[in-house]
């Protein structure tokens, strides 16, 4: 009964898109597969000038494919051709088209539709109250952990959002205790759900605080992916980004309002041999180097996921000479301003 109703009710309030959905359903009625509905979705998303929103391979096809897999409850191993060739029924197609329509009409990241995001191979619950996890620091987490002088095995993930960074570190190293800190209680609800999902309540705490205001402990490692988008750059962001919390992105005129506070206060919250690690965005890195000439930042570049292609190797070779791409720093407590 419900299916018949579903088939009759409109898929979009936009007449042109409604026509396209109906025409796809008619034309492909007898040979609908995962692959061709994802291609249809991706074509539509291109026509509607959607932004890929940092999704895999910067690809709108992957946006559409992911929504298709999610709707069909398939494991997201889309490279496997047996899934791409899977036939889909008209009812299944309608459910998928409804997800495409949400992506298009609401201009939200796909993860806000599915309420899940993958980061470092781990699944995180997300909603509109947190930034969709995408910090490129994760390709260097194991290296970061190996650089820390452990004294009390305590880590602070400052500006935690979904908790993706602190939780991943806790999963990578079972000896550490992690505090997840955010100013937003809505974000902390999400982080707390993720802590519970991984059963980490005995090692990972959520604390609401405006940066260090409510903190009293010392840590071996403070790691942070704070807001660092300059106001003027925010204005130019695609709608998908603007539908993420503004407080997660913007940090004053030059994007450094939060970073200045972290840099000038972190020492007090670090053990003497502790370390601060922060992601800062390309334009911020240049300003920070000028503004704090005495701070011995160890700059790193954000690397994409490693692959064996020639293009990756050439890019890797070229970026190591480009100071413009410095976007993560490590700094020992001793070198930080008092
Ligand atoms: C760029 S998001 C990073 C979220 C997460 N760490 C990640 O990498 O996906 C920045 C986070 O900082 C939080 N935030 C902004 N201002 C803050 C402040 N003054 N104190 C604590 N957290 C703050 C925002 O609520 C947001 O969750």
HEC states along 235-260? HCCCHHHHCCCHHHCECCCCCCHHHH
Pocket test for ligand 1, best of 126, 144, 161 (most atoms within 8 A of CB): 161
Q: Which residues lie below 8 Å from residue 164, measured CB to CB, with a gap of 6+?
A: 117, 119, 120, 122, 124, 133, 135, 194
**What angle in degrees, to the nearest 10, is found between the helix axes of 15-27 and 34-47?**
160
Reported pTM: 0.92
| CB distance 210 to ligand 1 below 6 Å | yes
- Concatenate the DSSP letters of all residues of 67-121 into one string: HHHHHHT--S-TT-HHHHT-B--HHHHHHHHHHHHHHHHH---HHHHHTEEEETT
Long-range contacts of 208-213 (CB under 8 A, 24+ apart): 208/181, 208/182, 208/183, 208/184, 209/181, 209/182, 209/183, 210/183, 211/158, 211/181, 211/183, 211/258, 211/261, 211/262, 211/265, 212/158, 212/265, 212/266, 212/268, 212/269
The pLDDT tens digits of the residues spanning 91-109 come to 999 999 999 999 999 999 9
Which of 169, 290, 164 shows the shortest CA–CA distance to 220? 169
- Supply 133's token pair: 């996890």
Q: Ligand 1 pocket, 168 CB below 6 A?
A: no
How far is ligand 1, taken at its centre, from the CA of residue 159, in Å?
Answer: 3
Q: Average pLDDT per run of 10 along the chain, which is 338 residues long? A: 60 96 92 95 98 90 96 80 91 97 98 96 97 95 96 98 98 98 98 98 98 98 96 95 98 94 98 97 84 94 59 58 73 97
Q: What length is written for the chain?
A: 338
pLDDT at 29: 84
Per-chain mean pLDDT for the chain? 91
pLDDT of residue 30: 85
Q: How far apart are the first and last CA of the chain?
A: 69
Contact of 306 with 312, CB cutoff 8 Å: yes
Q: In this structure, which residue's CA is closest to atom 7 in ligand 1?
A: 133
> Which pLDDT score is estimated for 82?
83
Q: β-strands 326-332, 270-279: how paired? A: antiparallel
Pick from 194, 215, 227 the residue to mutate for probing ligand 1's pocket: most ligand atoms within 8 Å of its CB: 227
Domain 130-335 matching CATH 3.30.160.70: the answer reads no
**pLDDT for the residue numbered 162:** 98
The DSSP secondary structure of 144-176, one letter per residue, reads HHHH---SS-EEEEES-TTSHHHHHHHHH-TT-
Q: Give CA–CA dist 248/218, Å, rounded.
A: 25
Query: Is residue 155 within 6 Å of ligand 1 at its C-beta?
Result: no
Nearest one of 89, 80, 2, 78 to 38, comparing CA atoms: 78
The CA 165 to ligand 1 mean position distance, Å, reads 11
Q: In terms of C-beta density within 10 A (0-12 exposed, 13-18 middle, 19 or more buried), how is residue 138 classed?
A: buried
CA of 250 to the centre of ligand 1 (A): 10
161, 181 contact by CB (below 8 A): no
Q: For residue 220, how far is its CA from the centre of ligand 1 (angstroms)? A: 20
- Ligand 1 centroid–CA 335 distance in Å is 24
For ligand 1, is residue 169 a contact (CB within 6 Å)?
no
Please say whether the beta carbons of 170 and 200 come within 8 A: yes
CA torsion 23→25→30→35, rounded to 10°?
100
Indicate if ligand 1 lies below 6 Å from the C-beta of 135: yes
Could you tell me if the CB of 275 is within 6 A of ligand 1? no
C-alpha 248 to ligand 1 mean position (Å): 5
Any atom of ligand 1 within 6 Å of the Cβ of 159: yes
pLDDT of residue 78: 58
pLDDT in tens, 226-248: 999 999 999 999 999 999 999 99
The answer to whether the beta carbons of residues 34 and 68 sit under 8 Å apart is yes
For position 297, what pLDDT does the model report?
Answer: 96
Looking at residue 214, the DSSP 8-state letter turns out to be T
CA–centroid distance, residue 112 to ligand 1 (Å): 17
Q: Is 190 in the pocket of ligand 1 (CB under 6 A)?
A: no
pLDDT at 2: 44
Encoding tokens for residue 52? 């890929």
pLDDT at 76: 77
Please name which of 286, 282, 296 lies closest in space to residue 331, comparing C-alpha atoms.
296
Dist. CA 198 → ligand 1 center (Å): 21
Ligand 1 neighbourhood includes 220 CB (under 6 angstroms): no
Give 173 Cα–ligand 1 centroid separation in angstroms: 23
Centre of ligand 1 to C-alpha 227, Å, is 6
Question: Which atom of ligand 1 lies nearest, measured to the CA of 224?
Answer: 6
| Token reading at 186 | 């809505």
C-alpha to C-alpha distance for 285 and 101, rounded to whole angstroms: 39
């Amino acid at each position: 009964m419900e299916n018949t109703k579903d088939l009759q009710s409109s898929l979009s309030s936009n007449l042109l898109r409604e026509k396209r959905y109906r025409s796809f359903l008619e034309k492909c009625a007898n040979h609908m597969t995962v692959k061709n509905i994802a291609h249809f979705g991706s074509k539509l998303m291109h026509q509607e000038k959607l932004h890929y929103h940092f999704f895999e391979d910067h690809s709108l096809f992957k946006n559409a494919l992911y929504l298709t897999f999610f709707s069909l409850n398939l494991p997201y191993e889309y490279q496997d051709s047996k899934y791409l060739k899977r036939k889909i029924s008209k009812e299944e197609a309608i459910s998928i088209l409804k997800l495409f329509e949400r992506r298009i009409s609401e201009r939200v990241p796909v993860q806000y539709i599915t309420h899940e995001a993958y980061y470092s191979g781990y699944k995180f619950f997300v909603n509109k109250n947190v930034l969709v996890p995408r910090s490129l620091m994760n390709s260097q987490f194991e290296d970061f952990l190996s650089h820390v002088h452990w004294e009390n095995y305590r880590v602070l993930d400052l500006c935690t959002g979904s908790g993706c960074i602190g939780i991943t570190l806790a999963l990578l190293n079972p000896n550490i205790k992690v505090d997840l800190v955010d100013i937003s209680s809505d974000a902390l609800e999400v982080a707390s759900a993720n802590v519970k999902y991984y059963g980490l309540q005995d090692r990972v705490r959520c604390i609401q605080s405006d940066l260090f205001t409510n903190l009293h402990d010392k840590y071996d490692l403070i790691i942070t992916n704070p807001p660092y988008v300059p106001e003027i750059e925010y204005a130019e962001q695609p709608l998908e980004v603007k539908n993420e919390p503004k407080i997660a992105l913007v940090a004053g005129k030059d994007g450094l309002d939060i970073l200045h506070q972290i840099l000038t206060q972190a020492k007090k919250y670090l053990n003497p041999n502790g370390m601060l690690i922060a992601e800062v965005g390309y334009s911020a890195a240049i300003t920070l180097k000028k503004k704090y000439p005495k701070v011995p930042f160890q700059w790193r570049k954000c690397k994409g996921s490693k692959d064996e292609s020639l293009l990756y190797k050439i890019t890797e070779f070229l970026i190591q000479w480009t100071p413009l791409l410095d976007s993560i720093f490590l700094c020992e407590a001793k070198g930080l301003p008092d």
